[in-house]
Structures are given as C-alpha cells and as structure tokens.
Structure 1
Amino acid sequence: MPDLAIDIGNTGTKYGIFENDVLIKQGYFKEGDLPQDLLAYTFDNAIVASVAGKPQTIKARLAVSGSFVELSAQTALPVINKYKTPQTLGADRIAGAAGAHYFFPNRNCLVIDAGTCITYDFTDNQAQYHGGAIAPGLRMKFKALHTFTQRLPLVEQTSENLILTGQTTQESIESGVLTGTVAELQGIINAYTERSPDLVVILCGGDAGFFESKLKGRIFVIPELVLIGLHRILTHNV
C-alpha cells in the first residue's frame, strides 16, 4: 500500500502519494476540500505537517492502516535539530532540511523555500540542521506596500522581467519588490557560500520558477522537496 505526506501551508495544502519511496502523485487542495484521490486510497502510513490548519480534521477522513505521524518537535528526525526553540520551528522548514539531506548527504545545504514567506535553512555536512531566516515573500511585500501606505496601489506581479530603475509608481514598486528580493536571495547565497565553499543551494516553493533564472551560480530546483522530506521523516519513524 502507498504512503501519504501532507503539508498544510498558509495558503493551501499539498499532498504527495509515495509507492516504494517514489513520489507517484501529488496535488493541492484548500482546507476542508479533501480530493477524491486521497479518499479512494487506504494508505499504509501517513504524515501530516502543518503551519496553519488542524491535522486532526484531515486525519479523521483518511484511511490509514499503519502509523499516522503528526510532525511536531517530539518527532524523531533523520537530521540533528540544533534549533534553539524546536517547538516554534515550522514543520515545512525541518521537512525541507530532511529532504536536502536525503538528496545531498554529507554536503552543506541551503534550502530556499520561496512561498508566502521566503525561508532560508542551513543543514551542514554532518546532518545537523542549524536554522536560518524568515522573510516576507513577493506577494506579502506587494500587499504590505499597499496596506501600510495611503497612496501606493496594490500591484500584482505581471512580469518576469526585472526593472532596476522604475519610471512609474508601479514600475518602482516592481523594482523594489522583485529586483530587491532577487538581490536579497543572492546576497544570502553569497554569505553562506563564503562560509561553506562546497554549498549546495536548493530552491523550492511556489515562486521558485521566478527566481531560478535570476540567481547566479548552480541552483537545484526541487519543487517537491518538502513533500519528499516529509516522507523521509515518515520512513524514519515506522
């Protein structure tokens, strides 16, 4: 029977179905709208990680014959968690670290998850997760400029191009958010690379495609990194 990994995020829920450690199907749904793909299966084991919703609601509707793991600070991990406050650590962040360690064991890894927030997470070549940083994502920045000012418009990202010198208010906002965030990512990558010359940089999250072609150096884009990391945590616990 297959295994199931579910990642409940700030804007929706992703799921991955695994057969013999291979991700065979994945999807996305809004809270409470469980897809037929999941209701049609009886799963061997399952894991749910949440930064927003309540895993119990989903758990009650799934058929799982074996273990059901709700990822928490007490869950055993395939990496060593050095975070000072593990009880406050986002489940998606530690899952991304587990996924990075799975793909690149014995390497220093920086995971950049570009979603609602942009998170940076560092795992060293001894499989020790140290933490990282949390910053606003692109849409959050656009919304904040509109919400916390009197006259700036709400700009929706419409271009893949970077504008350095905006010649209208909209272009200036796009320059500040898009060009500024690319510079932020590149600066953090450079800082980690100075500390760890053999650094592996992994990009995931909904905005990974936007950043992929705009960053210098070798970047691995693994969109399903968090789901794969969750499954590695699940197999570590069963």
Structure 2
Amino acid sequence: MTNLVIDIGNSFTKIAIFEKDDLLKVEQYQQPDIRQIENFIGSNIIGKTIISSVKQVKEAWHLSLVDKHPVVYFNSGIKAGINNHYKTPGTLGADRLAAVIGANYLYPAVANVVISGGTCITYDYIDAGANYFGGSISPGLKMRYKAVNEFTAALPLINADSDFDAAYGDDTESAIKSGVQNGIKYELEGFINNYIKTQKAYNIILSGGDSIFFDTLLKNSIFAPYIKIEPYLVLKGLNAAIQKHND
C-alpha cells in the first residue's frame, strides 16, 4: 500500500507517492487534471490520501479523485506527534505546520530550526520535546530584489548571485546584492542564534526553492555543520501526518 500526498500551493500543485517513509516519485503541476493525476498514480495501490491546500479546493480533478480514493484534508487539528501551542492554529499556514511535523518526524528528540525559502522566508522552531510555539515570516529573496526596483525611481531590477561573497558593494548593482543577500545572511544567522542559544543539540533544516542558495550563504558560518537540506520537507510532513492519522 502507498500514500498519495497532494500539496496545493498558490502557484503549483505538488503530488507525491510514498511507500511508508520512502518517497517513490514526485511531480509538480501548474494546473493538473484528473488524467495527469491518474497517470502519475499508475499501477500503485493507494492506501491513504492526504490533501493540503492554501486555498479552497474547487478543481474538477479533486472531485474525481475523492470519488476514487478516501481523502484526509490536512488541518491544524491533525497533531501528528507534535504539541502545537500556536495561539491561532486556524491561521497557521498549512505548509509551515507540515514542515514542522516533517522536521520532528525525521529528526525526533532534538531541537529543529526549520527555514523555508520561497516567496517569503519562514522561520519555525520545534524543541526536543516536540513543542511548537510559532515562528517568523519575512520577505523572500526575489521579493526583496523586486521591492528595491519597484519602490525606487532609479534602482534596477537584478537577479540573485550565488557567487557574490563581498562584505559591501562598490557599484550600484553590487551594493544592491550586498544589501539583499548579506541582509538575508545576517537575518538567517540572527534567527538561528536566537533559537538555539540554549540548545546543545539541534538541526537547521533548509527547505523550499531557495534552500540551496541559503546553504551557500551559510557555508562559512558556525552553523554549517548543523545544516540539513530537505527539499521535500512539506511533502514528508504530510506523509507523516497521514501515517499517524487515527493511529
């Protein structure tokens, strides 16, 4: 038996099949249809299905899928082994909650700092006792570059540069890179330091589209030995949630 895991975001839908904890296959769609999903499932026998969405699900494929496979909808009521102390759990982003569940499931009994780099950068912390209290949200890498351009009259729109490693810029373009990328680097280090200052054992888990870029920013820091890159952390968290559901 396999688990079907579906994560519906604002721009893309990610679909994965797991055999227990093993990720067998994953695909990303902009607007999937039921034929694509059924082709993706192929000959796999689906035991459990979980859907997580940042929006109300109205797509036609969803109705067809529900007719064929029993579905569990991921929400803040699914504990999946963690103690959620968030004051307004109904407003907690499903992706953030799934990532924290995934971190605790993959690396139990140790403190985990979960950093996801996408449209926004999210920082979440779960302690060794599986207690989650909350985190932080800040503008993402591309959003910062875009803001510098859109909210000024003369500054250009430039792209991130993973090879940039200067303490300051000596022209306008490099000054923007320094401000944006060093700003994120110092932000990463500051948040991590704040979370782990009382911890003897911890992980820094990087996820999301900018995880490799963040790893580059931190490669020479004191935190480098503690970094683990988990590009499919949300999907793994959803899989953990469906496995623990009704256990």
TM-score normalised by structure 2 residue count: 0.87
Match of 1:109 in 2: 112
Paired amino acid for 2:201 = D
Deviation at 1:64, TM superposition (A): 6.6
AA paired with 2:190? G
- Give the aligned partner of residue 83 of structure 1: 86
Any idea what SS the aligned residue of 2:163 has? Answer: coil
Equivalent residues of 1:163, 1:174 under 8 A apart: no
CA distance in 1, matches of 2:207, 2:70: 28
- Of residues 5-14 and 106-115 in structure 1, the stretch that sits farther from structure 2 once superposed is 5-14
**What do residues 126-181 of structure 1 show as CA deviations (whole Å, max 9, x unaligned)?**
11111111111100111111122222222122443233221222211111111110
How far apart in 2 are the matches of 1:56 and 1:76? 26
1:44·1:64 contact (CA, 8 Å) conserved in 2? no
The residue aligned with 1:55 is 57
Instruction: Give the deviation of 1:229 after TM superposition.
Output: 0.3
The residue aligned with 1:39 is: 38
Paired residue for 2:27? 27
The corresponding residue for 1:220 is: 228
What is the deviation of 1:15?
A: 2.0
1:185 CA drift (Å): 0.4
TM-score, scaled relative to structure 1: 0.90
Distance 1:213 1:132 in 2: 23
Structure 1 residue 38 displacement after superposition: 2.1
Which one-letter code corresponds to 1:137 in the other structure? G
SS of corresponding position for 2:129: coil
Any idea what the Cα deviations from partners look like across 1:201-230, whole Å, max 9, x if unmatched? 111110111111331222011111110001
1:232 aligns with 2:240: yes
Counterpart of 2:21 in structure 1: which amino acid?
D
The one-letter code of the counterpart of 2:241 is: I
Q: Size of the alignment, in residue pairs?
A: 236
Q: Distance in 2 between matches of 1:190 and 1:226?
A: 24
Unaligned runs of 5+ in 2: none
2:221 aligned with 1:194, yes or no? no
Identical pairs, percent: 39
Shift of the 176–6 alpha-carbon distance from structure 1 to 2, 3 Å rule, reads same
Which of 85, 96, 118 matches 1:93? 96
Provide Cα deviations, 1:181-201, integer angstroms capped at 9, x if missing partner.
011101111121213232221
